[in-house]
Amino acid sequence: MNENEISEFRSDVRAWLQDNKPAAPSFLLPETFMEVGTDQQFEFLRRWQQTVYEAGYLGMSWPEAYGGGGQPQVMQDIVNQEMAAQRVPFVPNTIGLNWAGPLILEMGTEADKQRYIKNILSAEDIWCQGFSEPDHGSDLGNAQVRAVKDGDEYVINGSKIWTSLGSYAKYMILIARTSNEGPNKYAGLSFFLAPMTADGITPTPIKKLTGEYGFCQTYFTDARIPADCMLGNEGEGWSVAMKTLMFERGAVGGQAGGLSMMDLNINDIVELARRATRNGRPAIEDPLTRDELVKLVLEAKGHVVMGSRARIPALGGTYPTAVAMSGKLRGTELKRKMTRFALSLQGANGARFISEAALDGGKWQRSYLNAFSGTIGGGTSQIQKNILGERVLGLPKS
Amino acid sequence: MIRFSEEQAMLLDTAREFCQKRAPIDVVRQAIQAGQPLDATLWQTMVDLGWLGVTIPETYGGLGLDLADTVPIFEAMGRQLLATPMLASTLATQVLITNGSDEQKAQWLPKIATGQIATLALTEANGSWESDQITTQLNQSAAGAMTLTGSKAFVLDAGVADVILVSALQDDALRWCLVDASDLPDGAIQREVVIDETRRSYSLAFSDLPIRADQVLPGTSFKKIELAAMLLITAEMSGGLEGVLAVIVDYLNTRKQFDRLIGSYQAMKHPTVDILMGAEMTRSYLYHAATVWRDETDDVAVESAVRMAKCCASEQFSEAGDRGIQFHGGFGFTYECDAQLFLRRALWGQYQFGDERHQRQKLAGLLF
């Protein structure tokens, strides 16, 4: 696409988004796909995904044969940027769109692609992920859910935790142990595209620290799933899971696109500081608050310039992987700090919670409590620091 | 947005290699021991490399590049704690380029490009350097004769300088005066004791020093010079931060306590990762500021970018130096441990031209 075509396409997308952006509902929307807790929220977001897909703005670079747009990636990138800029709702089927979908396109059979891809895009089939287990946190290699082959089926037993959208999902990307033999713990793992409709699979909603629902613990009790829903070969689960994580972390391309969360950035906090009041005047006029706000702006802006420098190999320095590998740690910690600070801008009203009397309906309080999903999920910040210390700085293992 | 050209990348490589070779840590320590005499051979090599003329226009014998192009050189020098008069000379060069008359430029810039040393005297004895706080006076008698009276501090390399650019107040207007070091009476230049022992820092005392009209610069730009100083000091600090991180990582990977390498303890590992993040952010802010400086599209953008970089460097480098001492345990408390060289360097840079609190105060006005 040349520059004219790009800017024309961008303005078309912008116009469409402005015309079709749904009006804010009467209830508080979740801010990420991991926080969808009520049917009302889910149906609203699923309808939005359908609308976006029908307009041709989702999966634009996926093959046409499976329901994609067959267009260059740059077009989807533009759509994603405009969606963020116009602050439209996110599309809820993130795990399907950005993790399972690209994985199936890369290593699934023709039948897999025919069966799954289009319905991922249209939100007909919602996907969830079964990686973490109650006793092992994010230590994926230690997964203990058992999958025992019995004829042309596998019999699954055990439980998975932190299953986002578990109650709504039709399929799960599941990592389970098919063997205890092998040279190491990784060798016995296999990867499945498991139907959540199978008897014996029970997603049980977990109440979060906010009092809302959003995750499930998924129990498997002699659940039988077809043997042909295994992706890759038996014992290759670890490498398939690693590939999935590459998609999840955005380290490789191929995602269908769309937003998976409401953007919250430092400008929102500055704006809040102007309108929230402390001691009867805008918080931004309080000198100490102002200084704290500058600190936060500098941290946020610092991440932006780090990203910019990371794209210049000549400025890579002694630790060229440091910026890329710390993205999760920095991004989630910043969000936690920003939302926590947002409460402090509100004086006594910082102590309110989701209710009409709270500023923005209590969105900030909810955001802060939910921010821990980022700093804990996918390897806590403390684990991230171990990883950075060992893999980037070359320090000895803890 | 950061941009970095291939030429700049080459300069960075050359400068790093040069500084590594010419300033290993034992050479730095020997120079401190000897009272930091000017290393004439090293200085001449830097002159021959063209480094002193990077920003000097071609008509005056320089390369005619931007100040931002010297950032990789200062970063490389900071990495090795190399202190040469290049910082002082480069800043004085900016004063002449921005404010000097054609005659003043023609007289001094070719000399600076070929190694004569220039410096600037901005900071007052009370520690203030900002335009509204200068008290050194440029007085004019009824007959029209001018004299300079006042005291300056933190004047780098004044003891080896040929020319000094001094900020002074003439009535209510701030001016730059060009003072030939040989015109100063005995005792006017005194070595100061500063926390960074790699620096040659001096105080200057002017008492009715006669100033001719051709010694006063026509231009009155001060802010740009202050920002230039911040940019180059930030470059040195970014290099120094990388240096102290290397010292820490090396110790964490070799020192054993309770039968374990100390780097395996999370109490050491996690704050070291914090230092790494601080170093990465400082370097990013530095090259962002250099990019914005070169673009020069908007004064507020330049000032914000430079202050953000200086703020980040001040905070992160001094914290890294502080932790660097602590992580070396008993050894860290000794003069022998290199961490102190970096901490003391960090503290010098932190307090020159505004620490992080000062910068945040300025930034609040620029940002909100």
Three-state SS for B4?
Answer: coil
Residues B211, B148 contacting (CB under 8 angstroms): yes
CATH 1.20.140.10 residue ranges in chain B? 223-367
Separation of alpha carbons B202 and B153, rounded Å: 6
Q: For residues A220 and A244, what is the distance between their CA atoms, to the nearest angstrom?
A: 22
Return the half-sphere exposure (C-beta side, CA atoms, 13 A cut-off) of residue A34.
Answer: 13
- In angstroms, the separation between the Cα of residue A84 and the nearest Cα of chain B is 19
pLDDT band of residue B79 (cuts 50, 70, 90) is very high
Q: Mean pLDDT over residues B207-226, rounded?
A: 96
Fold of B223-367: Butyryl-CoA Dehydrogenase, subunit A; domain 3 (1.20.140)
CA angle A265-A253-A249, nearest 5°? 50
Question: A398–B1: do the CB atoms touch at under 8 Å?
Answer: no
B chain contacts of residue A311, beta-carbon cutoff 8 Å: 2
Nearest to B284 among A290, A306, A389 (CB): A306
Between CA B134 and CA B156 the distance in angstroms is 18
| Mean local confidence (pLDDT), B328-341 | 98
Q: How far is Cα B276 from Cα B262, in angstroms, rounded to an integer?
A: 17
Those residues with Cβ within 8 angstroms of residue A71's Cβ, 6 or more apart along the chain or in another chain: A60, A61
Q: Which of B260, B283, B364 sits opposite A291 (nearest CB)?
A: B364
What's the confidence (pLDDT) of residue A66? 97
Q: With beta carbons under 8 A apart, name residues in chain A contacting B360.
A: 291, 294-295, 298
CB within 8 Å: B288 and A309: yes
Q: Which of A298, A309, A317 sits opposite B242 (nearest CB)?
A: A317
Residue A144's pLDDT is: 94
CATH code for A127-248? 2.40.110.10
- The tokens for B220 are 């009155």
Residues 309-368 of A with CB under 8 A from B: 309, 311-312, 314-315, 317-319, 322-323, 326, 330
Second CATH level (architecture) for the domain A266-392: Up-down Bundle (1.20)
DSSP class of B188:
S
Q: Which residues of A168-200 are buried (b: 16+ CB within 10 A; e: fewer)?
A: bbbbbbbbbbbeeeeeebbbbbbbbbbbbebee
Neighbours of A97 (CB within 10 A): 26
Which residues of A are catalytically annotated?
248
Interface test with A, best of B5, B8, B276 (most A CBs within 10 A): B276
Taking alpha carbons only, the member of A153, A178, A165, A139 closest to residue A218 is A165
Kindly state the helix (H) or strand (E) to which residue A201 belongs, with its residue range: strand A201-207
CA distance B44 to B195: 27
Question: What letter represents residue A370's amino acid?
Answer: N
Tokens describing residue A245: 């994580």
Q: Which residues of B touch A (CB under 8 A)?
A: 1-4, 6, 8-9, 12, 242, 245-246, 249, 252-253, 260-261, 263-266, 269-270, 272-274, 276-277, 280-281, 283-285, 287-288, 308, 311-312, 357, 360-361, 363-364, 367-368
**Distance from chain centroid for Cα B347:** 13
Contacts of A294 in chain B (CB under 8 A): 360, 363-364, 367
Q: What is the mean pLDDT of chain B?
A: 96
Residue A284 touches partner B, C-beta closer than 8 Å: yes
- A158: β partners: A220
Tokens of B201: 């820092």
**Chain B residues in contact with A324 (beta carbon < 8 A):** none
Alpha helices in A1-54 (DSSP H): 3-20, 39-54
3-state secondary structure (DSSP) of residue A194: strand
Q: Which two tokens stand for residue A218?
A: 């998924």
Q: What is the mean pLDDT of residues B191-203?
A: 97
Tens-digit pLDDT profile for residues B239-285: 999 999 999 999 999 999 999 999 999 999 999 999 999 999 999 99
Q: What is the mean pLDDT of each run of 10 residues along chain A (398 residues)?
A: 92 97 92 92 97 97 97 94 94 96 96 97 97 83 94 97 94 96 90 97 95 93 97 95 88 87 91 95 96 98 96 94 94 97 96 95 95 90 96 96
Task: Read off the pLDDT of residues B84-94 as tens digits, 9 standing for 90 and up.
Answer: 999 999 999 99
pLDDT tens string B146-172: 999 999 999 999 999 999 999 999 998
- The Cα–Cα gap between A53 and B140 comes to 78
Q: Do A389 and B361 touch (CB under 8 A)?
A: no
Provide the ipTM. 0.94
Report the CATH number of the B118-215 domain: 2.40.110.10
A395 touching chain B per CB within 8 A: yes
User: Quick check: B368 and A389 CB within 8 A?
Assistant: no
- Number of C-beta neighbours around residue A394 at 10 A: 12
Q: How far is A326 from chain B (nearest CA, A)?
A: 8
- Residue A138's pLDDT is what? 66
Is residue B206 within 8 Å of residue B136, measured between CB atoms?
yes
Q: How far apart are CA A63 and CA A69, in angstroms?
A: 6
Domain ranges of chain A: 3-121, 127-248, 266-392
Contact B221, B98 (CB under 8 A): yes
In chain B, which residues have their Cβ closer than 8 Å to the Cβ of A296?
A: none
CA atoms B71, B72, B75, B77: torsion sign: negative
Q: Please, where in chain B does CATH 2.40.110.10 lie? A: 118-215
Return the CATH number of the domain spanning residue range B6-113. 1.10.540.10
CATH tag, A3-121 = 1.10.540.10
Contact across the interface for B261 and A396, Cβ inside 8 Å: yes
In the chain, the amino acid numbered A20 is N
Provide the Cα torsion A101, A104, A105, A106; round to 10°: 120
Q: What is residue A382's three-state secondary structure?
A: helix
CB neighbours of B120 closer than 8 A, spacing ≥ 6?
A: B88, B91, B92, B95, B155, B164, B165, B166, B167, B225
Whether chain B has a CB inside 8 Å of the CB on A288: the answer is: no
In degrees to the nearest 10, what's the CA dihedral of A225, A228, A229, A230? Answer: 110
Phi-psi region of B4 (alpha: psi -120 to 50; beta: other; left: phi over 0): beta
Within chain B, residue ranges assigned H as helices are 6-22, 25-33, 40-48, 71-79, 86-99, 102-113, 223-252, 266-295, 299-327, 329-332, 339-351, 356-367
Cα A148 from Cα B329, distance rounded (Å): 54
Q: Which two tokens stand for residue B19?
A: 């500084």
Q: Judge whether A275 is closer than 8 Å to chain B, CB to CB.
A: no
Cβ-contact B85, B157 below 8 angstroms = yes
**How far from A17 is each of A12, A49, B50, B363, CA to CA, in Å?**
9, 12, 55, 36
Question: DSSP assignment of B102-150, as one string?
Answer: HHHHHHHHHHHHTT--EEEE-SBTTS--SGGG---EEEE-TTS-EEEEE
